[in-house]
Structure 1
């Protein structure tokens, strides 16, 4: 049952990730462009150049904020990662409980007998 729920959760996360893939790419490109514009702004010596870079930066910043819902896609990618990671760790409950050696009364008796004889 747990693997079925992990499968359903992974399927939903994959669909959300695919739906937000385009905005995620545009968000990444706009953040990269903001970085380049900032570097050009710092290197610019003239006031007109700095004003031009600020205006261009504000335009790219508006594109960046319009794609902020792409963070939902990033959250879906992380959820998909967690599903894949937990898929390998899920163990089925055995139908028959195996008695471990720690709970075996004869093993406990042997250990206590050995402690008494020492």
Structure 2
């Protein structure tokens, strides 16, 4: 049942991620453009150039703020990562515990170690 719920949660998170893929791309592009505008602002020597770069930066910042829903997509991507991590760790732990309980030599080794103390 737990695996089924993890699978359903992963499907929901994948849907949210795919729905927010466009805003995520636009947010990344706008952050990159803000970096470029900042570099050009620093290199500019004239006052008119600096004012123009600030105006362009504010326009790009408004585009970035309008795509803030991309954070929901990033949270969904992180949720998919956690679900995948939880899915794989339980499989490994269950297999190891089953192997230890079914192996007759593990009990023998524990008892032998207790006798040698």
TM-score (norm 1): 0.80
- Asked if 1:65 corresponds to 2:65, the answer is yes
Residue of structure 2 equivalent to 1:35: 35
CA offsets 1:95-114 (integer angstroms, 9 cap, x no match): xxx48729x8xx38x835x4
Q: Which runs of 5+ in 1 are unaligned?
A: none
How many pairs does the alignment contain?
Answer: 109
Higher helix share: 2
- Assess if the C-alpha contact under 8 Å between 1:3 and 1:90 holds in 2: no
Residue of structure 1 equivalent to 2:90: 90
Decide which of 89, 111, 114 is 2:114's aligned counterpart.
111
Q: Which runs of 5+ in 2 are unaligned?
A: none
Partners of 2:75 and 2:88 in 1: how far apart?
21
Choose 1 or 2 for highest CA Rg: 1
Q: What is the root-mean-square deviation of aligned Cα atoms in Å? A: 2.5
- Assess if the C-alpha contact under 8 Å between 1:27 and 1:67 holds in 2: yes
Partners of 2:43 and 2:31 in 1: how far apart?
19
Residue of structure 1 equivalent to 2:107: 101
Residue of structure 1 equivalent to 2:53: 53
Residue of structure 2 equivalent to 1:78: 78
- Asked if 1:18 corresponds to 2:14, the answer is no
